[in-house]
Chains A and B, each alone.
Chain A
Amino acid sequence: MLTKRIIPCLDVKDGRTVKGVNFVNLRDAGDAVELGALYAAQGADELVYLDITATIDGRSTFIELVKRVAQTINIPFTVGGGISSIADVSALLHAGADKVSINSAAVRNPDLINELSLEFGSQCIVVAIDTRYIDIENGKEHIVHTHGGRKPTDLRTIPWAKEVEDRGAGELLLTSMDTDGTKNGFALELTATISGNANIPVIASGGAGEMAHFYDVFTTGKADAGLAASIFHFREIDIPDLKAYLGDRKLPIRLTR
């Protein structure tokens, strides 16, 4: 049975993980490769590496990192952050990334989604959508945001999700800026609406604080995968415990122990 995926996300700056991590058994907690390998060994189903470097030098460092990750780990991983061209994607895939995630560039130039999926195949093109529920002229609406969720666009989230699928995205990474960082749970209703409309997998992100939140997002939220960062980095939730918890509750889960 196709299983629900658990995906830790690692923010990387200048080749190192940014968010403080609390793994005593790691030689170097900032080593993005070592941390990824640990998650893979613990049963993570995929990894996401997000490059938050703003400089050109940082970008080449990131490609080197992608190469080391691909050499080391034997599960799929997605890379994202500042990707805006076919050349960017080509470099990252050739370094060994399995998928790339595009965000702001897709909003700026939606045709890029079509171009990338034709060039590299839909299966490796993830479109990330950062969304926030905000006041608009006639009430409140889910609106796509860019720049790390700070800048609203003119796009409504639900039709935008459908459009990126129609343009050839292979997967959606939906982050609710309303729930992100709250630890109060994923945005269940919005995730369910988008995943229910979509014929491509939806990764839910933002708000995970306890194991039950993953259960909720896979059931009520209809998500195909759940992504989180700090709760894994700070060991508030251990991946093997989380997977056992979900398996005990009869969700299809890849148990590795």
Chain B
Amino acid sequence: MKTVIIKYNAGNVQSVMYALDRLGAGYIYTDDVTEITTADKVIFPGVGEASTTMNYLRQTGLDKLIPTLKQPVFGTCVGMQLMCRYSEENDTTCMGIFDVDVKRFPATAGMKVPHMGWNNISDYKTPLTDSIPENAFMYFVHSYAAPVCEYTVATCDYTFPFSAMLHKDNFYAAQFHCEISGNAGQQIIENFLKL
């Protein structure tokens, strides 16, 4: 099996690579179109700011390529947000795979932004959560979130209920960082690789 981690100007993806190493899964870290299109699984990680990362995807044409992929694609954190239609973060038009707009957490007394730390996810409707107990804790770090929508397959709550995971056709996404979410997070990556 060939797994590709898409290389773009996202921040540190080292921990994603180490998580795959722990699972004994090989991967290629690349932005090469042929490598990506011929992969069995594609991971689209993300740490960073929406407009800068989206601009880079546009310059490299990855913004056109990713929505046309046919194999299972897994976007995480900002990767998930870039797969949505739009982000309020610097007024950014995104790839539009998931027809939902990403919103900033509203200023709310006692609720700090970013949403940083371990929070529980619920209402699973995806094979990626197979064998994970309901209300499992995952590690989140984000200031923007996709509200619950028709593609939501796991929810979380912080100032408003939001999409912890999305799924549409061959596209899967998680707002949290599976790679540092303990054994439950590791299981999600393993489940994706088993699709």
Binding site for B on A (CB under 8 A): 1-3, 5, 40, 45, 70-71, 74-76, 93-96, 98, 120-124, 170-171, 198-201, 224-225, 254, 256
Those of B114-139 within 8 Å (CB) of chain A:
114-120, 137, 139
| Residues B22 and A170 in contact, CB atoms below 8 Å apart | no
The docked-state distance in angstroms from the alpha carbon of A164 to that of B16 is 29
User: Which residue, A5, A40, A74, A170, has most C-beta atoms of chain B within 10 A?
Assistant: A74
B71, CB-defined interface residue at 8 Å: no
- A1 contacts which of B12, B112, B113, B119 (Cβ < 8 Å)? B119
B14, CB-defined interface residue at 8 Å: yes
| Residues A70 and B119 in contact, CB atoms below 8 Å apart | no
Please encode chain B, from 155 to 195, with 1 for each CB lying within 8 Å of some chain A CB and 0 for all others: 00110000000000000000001011111011000000000
| Residues A5 and B118 in contact, CB atoms below 8 Å apart | yes
| Residues A71 and B118 in contact, CB atoms below 8 Å apart | no
Q: List 9 A-B contacts (CB under 8 A).
A: A2-B158, A3-B119, A74-B22, A74-B182, A74-B183, A75-B181, A96-B15, A124-B11, A224-B117
B28, CB-defined interface residue at 8 Å: no
- A2 contacts which of B15, B22, B48, B117 (Cβ < 8 Å)? B117
| Residues A71 and B18 in contact, CB atoms below 8 Å apart | yes
| Residues A74 and B141 in contact, CB atoms below 8 Å apart | no
The docked-state distance in angstroms from the alpha carbon of A93 to that of B47 is 12
The docked-state distance in angstroms from the alpha carbon of A225 to that of B116 is 11
Interface of B: prevailing SS: mixed
| Residues B137 and A3 in contact, CB atoms below 8 Å apart | yes
| Residues A201 and B112 in contact, CB atoms below 8 Å apart | yes
User: Which residue, B18, B21, B120, B157, has most C-beta atoms of chain A within 10 A?
Assistant: B18
Task: Give the chain A neighbours of B179 by CB distance below 8 A.
Answer: 74
| Residues A201 and B182 in contact, CB atoms below 8 Å apart | no
Would A70 and B118 be within 8 Å (CB), given that A75-B180, A75-B182, A121-B49 are in contact?
no
The docked-state distance in angstroms from the alpha carbon of A123 to that of B47 is 9
Would A76 and B113 be within 8 Å (CB), given that A1-B157, A2-B118, A254-B118 are in contact?
no
Task: Give the chain B neighbours of A74 by CB distance below 8 A.
Answer: 19, 22, 179-183, 185-186
Shortest beta-carbon contacts, A-B, top 6: A254-B137, A254-B118, A96-B14, A123-B141, A76-B180, A93-B12
The docked-state distance in angstroms from the alpha carbon of A76 to that of B138 is 11
The docked-state distance in angstroms from the alpha carbon of A126 to that of B185 is 24
